[in-house]
Amino acid sequence: MRNSEQQANTIDEKILLYVKSNTLDFSGISAERKADLDKIADYVSMKIKGNETAELVYICTHNSRRSHFGQIWGATAAAFYGISNVKTFSGGTEATACNERSVAALKRVGFIIEKTTETSNPIYHIQYVLDGPKQVAFSKKYDDEANPKKGFCAIMTCSSADEACPVVFGAAKRVSTPYQDPKAFDGTLDEAKMYDERCNQIATETFYVFSKVKK
């Protein structure tokens, strides 16, 4: 594990301030929810103890909103707690596009984001620190060649994907942690507020997971 000074040097100052101000109070997470999140922490801990890489695939139907929040925050939380040998991915039951509103919410947090293609399903490079590792974000099915094929933990971030994929082929563990879809507020006055809220909820629960791994 890295010490706190090293952790601070790993993450952009604006994101670090957001994390410390908004994501480290886990008191609002119910005991029932923590029990599900603990399953993810157990998977990561098991892999690390076995000197293996823990691969987390966050899955929602369209791989456009919640699953990308999970992918990005998973990588960030692992870096914050100094936990190596963790790789995060996302996918869906169908491919659409990484929603621009999700991208905007991550930008408001402070993530460094570059749109590298101008297509109907653009590719984004997302970083939590300049010159640091790049998370590649675009919409894809969970079994896309960009994602691991076996031994991973499948994290179901929406109820429809959870129901559509009772079995995620290749997964060593499957955990259901559904979140309300901010898409319901697209085009409304509450749009940005609800995307920020969902982004924060997923961040908080992801930091809870990795706080357990650190212990």
The residues that bridge with 176 in the sheet, in sequence order, are 156
CB 161 within 8 A of CB 60: yes
Report the number of distinct structural domains present in the chain. 1
pLDDT at 196: 98
- pLDDT tens string 39-68: 999 999 999 999 999 999 999 999 999 999
Domain of residue 176 covers 4-214
Phi, psi angle pair for 138, to nearest 5° = -160, 160
CB 93 within 8 A of CB 162: no
Residues of the chain with pLDDT below 70 are 1-9, 161-166
CATH, residue 47: 3.40.50.2300
pLDDT at 10: 86
Question: Can you tell me the distance from the alpha carbon of 128 to that of 115, in angstroms, rounded to the nearest whole number?
Answer: 15
Question: Can you tell me the distance from the alpha carbon of 87 to that of 188, in angstroms, rounded to the nearest whole number?
Answer: 35
Q: 196 burial class (0-12, 13-18, 19+ CB within 10 angstroms)?
A: middle
Written as six digits, the tokens of 191 are 């749009």
Which residues are CB-contacts of 69 (< 8 A; sequence separation ≥ 6)? 58, 102, 105, 106, 157, 198, 199, 202, 203
pLDDT at 158: 87
